[in-house]
Amino acid sequence: MRFLQLLIFTFLIAGCNSGNAPVKKVIIDPNPTSEMAQLMRDMTNELASIREKLINEEELNQNLLDFALIHEQEVTDPSFNKPHIKPMSEAYAYAVDAFNENPTKSNYSAIINNCLSCHQLSCPGPVVRIKKLYLN
């Protein structure tokens, strides 16, 4: 039972391309970075810095976030192009707009919730990293 849990966890952290050994992917990164993967990395970094500011109670400006639409990006593998991507990408963009208009903690958390719901359906690998973006 324990072993099975470990096995499942290993697959989860292996990222979307569970065919590659996770360690190999981190070190050599054999796949060229897709547009979508690059966007995801940029969003992760930018949101991490906003998270710090929110935690430090810094005053945030409006319109901080300017991300390309997820569903218009090229993916690493066509298997990521699932039917739910577009509606979930639109829901995500809506949450980003709301934060841009009103950069509060709760609007920030709504963005992260949207990251998480799409990933739980399509690409569970980064879920651990996404959860680290929550405020507490």
Question: Residue 15: what are its φ and ψ, rounded to 5°?
Answer: 85, -170
| C-beta closer to ligand HEC: residue 3 or 136 | 136
Instruction: Tell me the CA distances in angstroms from 135 to 57, 60, 96, 105, 132, one per residue in order.
Output: 12, 15, 16, 8, 8
Provide the mask over 113-132, with x wherever binding to ligand HEC is found by CB under 6 A and - wherever it is not: -xx--xx--xx--x--xx--
- Shortest CB 3 distance to ligand HEC, Å: 27
Q: Are 77 and 19 in contact (CB under 8 A)?
A: no
CA–CA distance, 10 with 107 (Å, rounded to integer): 32
**Ranges within 66-85 binding ligand HEC (CB under 6 A):** 70, 75-76, 80, 85
Q: Which residues bind ligand HEC (CB under 6 A)?
A: 16, 34, 36-37, 40-41, 43-44, 47, 70, 75-76, 80, 85, 88-89, 92, 111, 114-115, 118-119, 122-123, 126, 129-130, 133
